[in-house]
């Protein structure tokens, strides 16, 4: 693949469950390309295929047919061990429910993926602290999730997702458990990471105002992409806004 090629691409991707009358085509011949540095919002009603696409992009599931290409490599041909390595070194995940370890501190939550990469302890601490600084949480590194607000917990989750310097950040309804003010702070943070770091972001959301932060929108229905559009980044999502929230955001 040339340097100008897409970071990720679906080539006639199908995901089929069941057979005969019970067959469900969660994905029905999807073609999709996302370039490095893009910020893409994936939308659609329940059962449209957006979550299935996210699972395949995150190497958590494999297509029934077709190819998923990551940096020119056919991911569908990789072994389980190779898929785990790809997730570990190139992908970051952010979920609606934060998915933090309850009895460990923010710092320890960030160090965990670095342990899997066998990063030495001193370097782990340095990288984790730098990621906490990026999301505006220096000074709260020794707090457990129970001692943090919902917005702060999601910031820790984002810091954990970026601490390994991934190529792709996959965010599945990252604002679903937050109020509107905290939601927009989180989106401003993701916008900052996309603009300033060039981090490719793929976001699943059902909220129009959240999707407005993305440069590109891809809409699914019945397992197919039915619409794509591009727009200017929402004026509210300025690069520096929302990075140092006041109070217990």
pLDDT along the chain (249 residues), means of 10: 75 94 94 97 94 94 96 93 93 92 94 93 95 94 95 95 96 92 95 95 94 96 95 48 43
| Structure tokens that stand for 60 in this block | 């958590």
Vertex 151: Cα angle to 150 and 154 (nearest 5): 85
CATH number of 8-97+166-230: 3.40.50.300
Domain residue spans in the chain? 8-97+166-230
Is the entire prediction scored with pTM above 0.85?
yes
Q: What is the DSSP secondary structure assignment for residue 46, as one 8-state letter?
A: T
Give residue 106's pLDDT.
Answer: 95
Whole-number Å distance between alpha carbons of 137 and 15: 40
Give residue 231's pLDDT.
Answer: 79
Give residue 91's pLDDT.
Answer: 96
Q: What is the DSSP secondary structure assignment for residue 60, as one 8-state letter?
A: S
- How many residues comprise the chain? 249
14 contacts 65 by C-beta, under 8 angstroms? yes
Give residue 245's pLDDT.
Answer: 44
């Amino acid at each position: 693949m040339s340097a100008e090629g897409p970071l990720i691409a679906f080539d006639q991707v199908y995901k089929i469950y069941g057979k005969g009358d019970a067959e469900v085509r969660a994905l029905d011949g999807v073609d999709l390309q996302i370039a490095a540095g893009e910020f893409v919002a994936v939308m659609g009603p329940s059962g449209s295929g957006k979550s299935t696409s996210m699972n395949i992009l995150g190497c958590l599931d494999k297509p029934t047919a077709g190819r998923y290409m990551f940096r020119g490599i056919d991911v569908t041909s990789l072994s389980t061990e190779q898929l785990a390595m790809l997730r570990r070194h190139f992908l970051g995940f952010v979920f609606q429910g934060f998915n933090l370890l309850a009895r460990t501190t923010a710092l320890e939550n960030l160090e965990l993926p670095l342990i899997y990469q066998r990063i030495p302890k001193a370097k782990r601490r340095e990288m984790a602290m730098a990621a906490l600084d990026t999301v505006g949480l220096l000074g709260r590194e020794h707090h457990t999730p129970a001692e943090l607000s919902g917005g702060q917990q999601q910031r820790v989750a984002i810091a954990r997702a970026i601490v390994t310097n991934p190529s792709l950040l996959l965010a599945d309804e990252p604002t679903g458990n937050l109020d509107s003010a905290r939601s927009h702070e989180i989106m401003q943070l993701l916008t900052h990471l996309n603009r300033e770091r060039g981090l490719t972001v793929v976001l699943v959301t059902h909220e129009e105002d959240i999707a407005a932060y993305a440069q590109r929108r891809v809409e699914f229905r019945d397992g197919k992409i039915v619409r794509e559009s591009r727009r200017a980044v929402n004026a509210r999502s300025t690069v520096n806004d929302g990075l140092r929230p006041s109070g217990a955001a």
